């Protein structure tokens, strides 16, 4: 029997898993007038596989959180929406932060007026400097004129010294005014810069209350509504890639040592009950989840289904090895893990590898044995 034939229309069953049904084994060939299903073991190629439960998730799916607690002022997305990087997801309000931002903006306006306004301090100082420069010029003219007159023996020495003193005083006052102007300018510029920085800081803090997307993708879940209080530990939404999905597999501890990167497998999804899809292992997480007592493995579809949605689930088998010329029976003809029902009654068998739907029989029955399918009772 070929590999494809063995796996056509299979029903995924987990080796060593507890069934949701209790098997009630009927030893009679007929019940209520209906003949039981019968088969004989067959030989063919088999594949040993590790069972895993499976769920489908978008690539890079993550939950979005607020960086600051507050009241939700607005939600700007809906489940199923496409979203782009930088798009606002939600606005969180905080009166204290708004007040700080408004105060910082007022501070910048006042500092700008002092530095650059028409009635600014610097404007007044510039007027004083201009007047003093004119005074220096006048005192200079008076002094040098008086000095020439004194050389001509006109005027007194006291009058010359008075002119010089006036000239020196006005020059000194001009220098002082210019120094004061430069210092005042530096102080006002520094004050303006500090207020600008304070406004930037306040706006950054205010921006922390605006929750934005960090990627292009799709909104898969929204957890809050406007008017609700949200903490930094409460998710606002779930965002992920639009068309890229991964398979998350949970594998029992007894099987994880046999799983490797690059191994292939088959998965059957609840949404596609009559189809089987191939995948390849892309990541094996090195730690055990203590709650589920299982290891997580990620895989990618080799050829994905036409439609995939986050949260789809199913069962999968990771292919460990293939074996030729195996004597095998369907898994649903085996009960208690090592027994079959024949026309002669219950027989114990020794099993080998297990595929998605079949189990290898090493001993106990042969190709001529007629098996009866056990009944299932809820």
Domain limit, last residue, from 223, 240, 257: 240
Assign residue 49 the CATH number of its domain: 2.40.30.170
Residue 83: HSE in the Cβ half-sphere, 13 Å Cα cutoff:
30
**Are residue 50 and residue 198 in the same domain, yes or no?**
no
Q: Which domain holds residue 72?
A: 62-94+209-240
Looking at residue 121, what is its pLDDT? Answer: 78
Question: pLDDT band at 95, cuts 50/70/90?
Answer: low
Let me know whether 157 and 116 are in one domain: yes
The reply to whether 196 and 129 lie within a common domain is yes
Q: Which residue has the higher pLDDT, 275 or 123?
A: 275
Do 231 and 144 lie in one domain? The reply is no
Report pLDDT for 4: 30
CA–CA separation, 61 and 238 (whole Å): 7
For residue 114, the model assigns a pLDDT of 80
Instruction: Answer yes or no: do 299 and 350 share one domain.
Output: yes
Mean pLDDT of the chain: 83
Determine the Cα–Cα distance for residues 106 and 91; give it in Å rounded to an integer: 23
The percentage of residues in the chain with a pLDDT greater than 70, rounded to a whole number, is 85
Check residue 356 and give its pLDDT. 64
Q: How far is CA 215 from CA 60, 82, 218, 247, in A?
A: 9, 11, 9, 21
Same structural domain, 346 and 250: yes
Question: Which residue in 79, 333, 63, 346 sits closest to 211, CA to CA?
Answer: 63
Q: Which has the minimum average pLDDT: 18-27, 272-281, 285-294?
A: 18-27
Looking up residue 113, the CATH number of its domain turns out to be 1.10.287
pTM of the full predicted structure?
A: 0.50
Same domain, 259 and 365: yes
Alpha carbons 194 and 198: distance in angstroms, whole number: 6
Shared-domain flag, residues 89 and 213: yes
* Structure confidence at residue 125 (pLDDT): 86
Residue 72 is part of a domain; what is its CATH number? 2.40.50.100
Residue 206: its pLDDT value, please? 61
DSSP code, position 196: H
314 beta partners: 54, 269
Q: Which residues contact 252 (CB under 8 A, 6 or more apart)?
A: 16, 51, 293, 294, 295
**Same domain, yes or no: 262 and 324:** yes
What's the domain count of the chain? 3
Q: Assess whether 182 and 138 both reside in one domain.
A: yes
Largest CA distance in the chain: 155
Structure tokens at 354: 């297990």
The model's confidence at residue 25, banded by pLDDT at 50, 70 and 90, is: very low
For residue 4, give every residue at least 6 positions away whose Cβ sits within 8 Å of its Cβ, in sequence order, or none: none
């Amino acid at each position: 029997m070929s590999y494809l034939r063995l796996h056509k229309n299979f029903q995924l069953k987990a080796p060593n898993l507890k069934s949701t049904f209790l098997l009630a084994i009927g030893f009679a060939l007929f019940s209520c007038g209906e003949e039981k299903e019968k088969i004989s073991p067959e030989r063919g190629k088999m594949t040993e596989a590790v069972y895993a439960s499976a769920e489908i998730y978008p690539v890079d799916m993550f939950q979005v959180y607020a960086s600051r607690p507050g009241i939700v002022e607005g939600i700007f997305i809906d489940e199923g929406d496409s979203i782009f990087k930088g798009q606002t997801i939600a606005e969180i309000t905080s009166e204290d932060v708004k007040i700080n931002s408004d105060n910082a903006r007022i501070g910048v306006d006042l500092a700008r007026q002092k530095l650059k306004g028409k009635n600014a301090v610097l404007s007044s100082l510039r007027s004083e400097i201009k007047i003093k420069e004119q005074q220096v010029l006048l005192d200079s003219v008076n002094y040098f004129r008086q000095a020439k007159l004194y050389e001509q023996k006109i005027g007194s020495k006291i009058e010359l010294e008075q002119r010089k003193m006036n000239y020196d005083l006005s020059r000194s006052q001009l220098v002082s005014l210019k120094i004061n102007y430069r210092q005042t300018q530096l102080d006002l510029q520094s004050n303006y810069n500090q207020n600008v920085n304070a406004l930037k800081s306040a706006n950054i803090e205010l921006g922390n209350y605006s929750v934005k997307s960090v990627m292009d993708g799709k909104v898969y879940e929204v957890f809050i509504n406007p008017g609700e209080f949200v903490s930094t530990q409460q998710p606002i939404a779930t965002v992920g890639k639009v068309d890229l999905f991964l398979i998350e597999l949970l594998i029992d501890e007894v099987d994880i040592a046999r799983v490797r990167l690059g191994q292939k497998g088959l998965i059957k999804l609840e949404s596609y009950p009559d189809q089987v899809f191939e995948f390849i292992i892309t990541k094996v997480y090195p730690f055990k989840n203590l709650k589920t007592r299982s290891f997580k493995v990620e895989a990618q579809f080799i050829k994905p289904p036409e439609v995939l949605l986050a949260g789809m689930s199913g069962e999968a088998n990771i292919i460990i090895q293939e074996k030729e010329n195996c004597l095998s029976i369907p898994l649903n003809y085996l009960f208690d893990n090592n027994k079959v029902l024949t026309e002669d009654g219950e027989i114990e068998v020794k099993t080998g590898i297990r595929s998605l739907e079949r189990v290898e029989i090493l001993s106990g029955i042969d190709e001529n044995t007629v098996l009866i399918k056990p009944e299932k009772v809820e």
